[in-house]
Amino acid sequence: MAVTMERRHFLKNAFVAGSAAALVGPTTALSAAPAHRRPGSTSISKLRPLANLRPNPIGVSTYSFWRFDGPKDNYPIEDCIERAAEMGFDGVEILHIQMQSEENEYLQMLKRRAYELGLALMGFSTHQGFVSPDAAERQSNVERTIHQIDLAAQLGIPTMRINTGRWGTSGSFDELMANRGIEPPLEGYTDDEGFEWVIEAISRCVERAAEKGVILGLENHWGLGRTPEGVLRIVKAIDSPWLQVTLDTGNFLEDPYEKLEMLAPYTVLLQAKTYYGGGTWYTLDLDYERIAKIMRDAGFKGWVSLEFEGKESPDTALPKSLEVLREAFGA
C-alpha cells in the first residue's frame, strides 16, 4: 500500500510540474515573439531568445517548373509535387492558373499526393486586379478572389498570394518591364482613386479569408503594389490579421534590401527569386545571406518559396537554388 501511495504522490507531482511547464511554454514563447506579431501590440520586441533555433522551411512554386514556357499541360501540378519531393524541398506553392481542374476530386488528389510524399501545400498564388474605374469589373475580381480563397481552403493551404492589379496603360508586359514596372494611370484618373478601389475590394475579400482561415498575402507586384509604400498603404488601411504581405525578393529592381526591410515585419510568405541562366526580362544578383538576416531580424519564421525565373533547366537550377536558400535560411 505504501508503494502505491508513493507512486500516486509521484504521479501527482509530475502532473503538476508538467502542467506548469505547459503553461510557461506558450507564455514564454508569446513574450519572446516580435511585438508586431502579438495581439494588441504595435512596437517591436527586443526579446527573441529562440529566434534562430529553427530554420525556415523551404518550398518551391510550381511556377518554377513551368515559367510560362509552353503549355501548362506539360507541367501538371502533381508532377511538380513529385519533382519537388525528389529534389528535397519541404513544401509546394501552387500557381492557380497552372491547375488543370478546380473539381474537388482533383484538389483532394493533389492534397493526398503531397501528404504521401511528406510535403506541405503551403502557398496558393493567384491573379486578380482591382485597379479599374468600372465597379462591375472590380466586383467580378472580388468574386474571383473569394472563389480562390475557397479553393485554398479545400486544398488545406494556409496562405494565398493576391495582387492589386495595374492600370494596364502599358502596351504589353514587355513594355511594362522596359519601363521598370512603372505605368501611368488611365487618363482622367489618379493613383489615389486606384488605392481607394483596391482597399474597398480587398476588404470584402478579407471577410471570406477570415471565415475560411486563409491568410491573404498582398504581393509587392506591379501596379499599386510596386513599392513598399503602396503595399503598406493598403495593408495598414485594412488593418486585419487576415491580410499580410507576400514578399517577393525579385520585384524591387532598385535598392531592394531597404525595401524588403520595410515589408519584412508584415510578411506571411517569402517568395525567393533566382535567375540561373539569366532572367527573361532582367536578372538580379540577390544576396540571400543579407536577405535572411533582414527576415530573421523581423522575426520571420515562416515559409520561403522558391520562384525560379532563369533560363537554365529547372532540373539543375532548382537544386542549386535550394542549396543557396538552405544555407542562408538555416538555423
Its pTM stands at: 0.84
CB atoms inside a 10 Å sphere around CB 21: 9
On the question of pLDDT at 93 being above 90, the answer is yes
Quick one: fold of 54-329?
TIM Barrel (3.20.20)
Report the SS3 class of residue 280: coil
Q: Are 30 and 49 in contact (CB under 8 A)?
A: no
Residue range 7-30: mean pLDDT, rounded: 36
Phi-psi region of 217 (alpha: psi -120 to 50; beta: other; left: phi over 0): beta
In this structure, the dihedral spanned by the alpha carbons of residues 89, 95, 98 and 103, taken in order and rounded to 10 degrees, is 100
Q: Please name the residues in contact with 196: beta carbons below 8 A apart, sequence gap of 6 or more.
A: none
Q: Are 210 and 150 in contact (CB under 8 A)?
A: no
On the question of pLDDT at 33 being above 50, the answer is no
Q: What whole-number distance in Å separates Cα of residue 54 and Cα of residue 81?
A: 24
Q: What whole-number distance in Å separates Cα of residue 249 and Cα of residue 88?
A: 22
pLDDT per residue as tens digits for the range 279-297: 988 999 999 999 999 999 9
In this structure, the dihedral spanned by the alpha carbons of residues 97, 102, 104 and 108, taken in order and rounded to 10 degrees, is -20
All structural domains of the chain with their residue ranges = 1-33, 54-329
Q: What is the mean pLDDT of the chain?
A: 87
On the question of pLDDT at 57 being above 60, the answer is yes
Q: Which residue has the cell 510596386?
A: 226
pLDDT per residue as tens digits for the range 218-257: 999 989 999 999 999 999 999 999 999 999 999 999 999 9
The CB-side HSE value for 198 (13 A sphere, CA atoms) comes to: 28
Q: Please name the residues in contact with 163: beta carbons below 8 A apart, sequence gap of 6 or more.
A: 126, 127, 128, 129, 218, 219, 221, 222, 223, 225
